[in-house]
Structure 1
């Protein structure tokens, strides 16, 4: 079995993650190109997960700064201004963390979600099967009835005013991760005068279900996995499942297809009894 060249991998990620000053993202237009090229990225870097983020593409490989005037926080403004402009798909998706997805790739994610029929009915089945909490069901029903609402009004309309913050926030994360709701704007509301406005996904992107309906499970998983390897270069199977949240059999089938198509290979790290999956060009 060939070996994984660690130096080649580091150089590959420095370019794909935009870590070097030469490749840094400097404008909103470049940010959109970065997202479209990668297919999907995190907004912030996530500890323990090797994956591109808009923050590191702008600020480099360093922790997110607490200083409000840090140059890297220009990403915050880009993200907020883009919420209602439909230039990309933004929500808490991967690991239930802030994720930006290219509009051309969003249907592949949606095809793997638990949304099969009518948006007004799918959530009921999800709740009955235990995939939605009661709070998530109430939040979704409030948006179905009232339309887009800021976080303050949404909590009130969902009858969660006295619920714990963690219960309400978890409901928002569950619904976003399953492509049922997403933030579509910013409202001057709450004590911080800053509140996300949430809407039903199929109202904001009405053509998404039809686009996804044409994509089968195998095609969707292979596309997303290929984009994953084009970003990270090399990984182990558990890395893939940690990020994408796929079951073992789905992950294994997608891996086998990419191997058979010659897009990735099995490689070892010298001196370690560990098997990696990697782009063939990263072999030593």
Structure 2
């Protein structure tokens, strides 16, 4: 009879493969990075404490912390990310938990379905604003991009009328909030400013119209089922609480998605008697030795 401890150890071994932390599986170039994201569906750029998810850093250098020194060989990942921003090979933004996330183009419509966007990017934001669901700063930055097209951060500061030094924190936070709602995304790098480096932003729906079109035909339930299946394929095991911590979904919807995946034999529920809980494992875990 298999026990929970054995399954958890198998899940840890399973993640060595899916996270590519094993030396033989490491990434060595931008195309391998793209293939990794396509394989996993979505990953973090950096490792994020208390949030299990594959990330580009671990897959390139192994499971070690990100150092402060800028000459670490692992920082080659930064160059890959910047060079690929305008290639439309993946979707990069501060998305899950407002942290740097890379999503495959096949998976991103499912995330867009769950965002507060409804297909009319020129007007939807006004409804949000009138309903008190969008700050004035978010509206100003969004309208600057809507009116002027893609802008790097220095020009965006000016066009959004947020140039004073005391506005920097609010500006940066607002950029993150807009990315988390999939309203805007980084789409390139400009040689601008003191350091010759400034992120270029555009409106997600305008830059990636195919994402919006595909999302039209995806229900919220299907989106959650698909994202959750991809998540289980990456991490091997999870419970409702850890899933909620990762995605912020209501527990009722998480349970419904887990029940669906269990009915499809994609995941298997296993009781955690010690915590009066149920842990779900991807089917493959039961076949590992």
Provide TM-score, normalisation by structure 1: 0.95
Q: Does 2:142 correspond to 1:149?
A: no
Q: Which residue, out of 215, 238, 241, partners 1:235?
A: 238
Q: Which residue, out of 57, 60, 71, partners 2:59?
A: 57
**Runs (5+) with no aligned partner, structure 2:** none
Structure 2 partner of 1:183: 186
Counterparts of 1:88-103 in structure 2 under 5 Å?
A: 88-103=90-105
Q: Does 2:6 correspond to 1:3?
A: no
Structure 2 partner of 1:38: 40
Counterparts of 1:85-124 in structure 2 under 5 Å?
A: 85-124=87-126
Q: Tell me the secondary structure at the aligned position of residue 87 of structure 2.
A: coil
Higher relative contact order (CA 8 A, sep 6+): 1
Q: Tell me the CA shift for residue 248 of structure 1.
A: 2.2
Q: Tell me the secondary structure at the aligned position of residue 119 of structure 1.
A: coil
Q: Which residue, out of 245, 248, 254, partners 1:245?
A: 248
Q: Tell me the secondary structure at the aligned position of residue 73 of structure 1.
A: helix
Counterparts of 1:140-219 in structure 2 under 5 Å?
A: 140-162=142-164, 163-219=166-222
Q: Is the 8 A contact 2:119 2:216 kept in 1?
A: no
Q: Is the 8 A contact 1:2 1:268 kept in 2?
A: no
Q: Is the 8 A contact 1:123 1:132 kept in 2?
A: yes
Deviations 1:1-44, CA, capped at 9 Å, x for gaps:
96331221111011100011011111211111100000000001
Q: Tell me the secondary structure at the aligned position of residue 141 of structure 1.
A: helix
Alpha-carbon distance in 2 for matches of 1:118, 1:280? 40
For the structure 1 residues 271 and 251, does the alpha-carbon distance in structure 2 shift closer, same or farther, using more than 3 Å as the test? closer
Deviations 1:26-72, CA, capped at 9 Å, x for gaps:
12111111000000000011011111001110011011122222111
Q: Tell me the secondary structure at the aligned position of residue 133 of structure 2.
A: coil
Deviations 1:198-257, CA, capped at 9 Å, x for gaps:
001122112221111011111111110000000000012121122222222322221111
RMSD, matched Cα: 1.8
Alpha-carbon distance in 2 for matches of 1:92, 1:253? 27
Q: How many equivalent pairs are there?
A: 284
Deviations 1:98-139, CA, capped at 9 Å, x for gaps:
000001111111111111131011111122233322111110
Q: Tell me the secondary structure at the aligned position of residue 138 of structure 2.
A: helix
**Runs (5+) with no aligned partner, structure 1:** none
Deviating more after overlay: 163-172 vs 20-29: 163-172
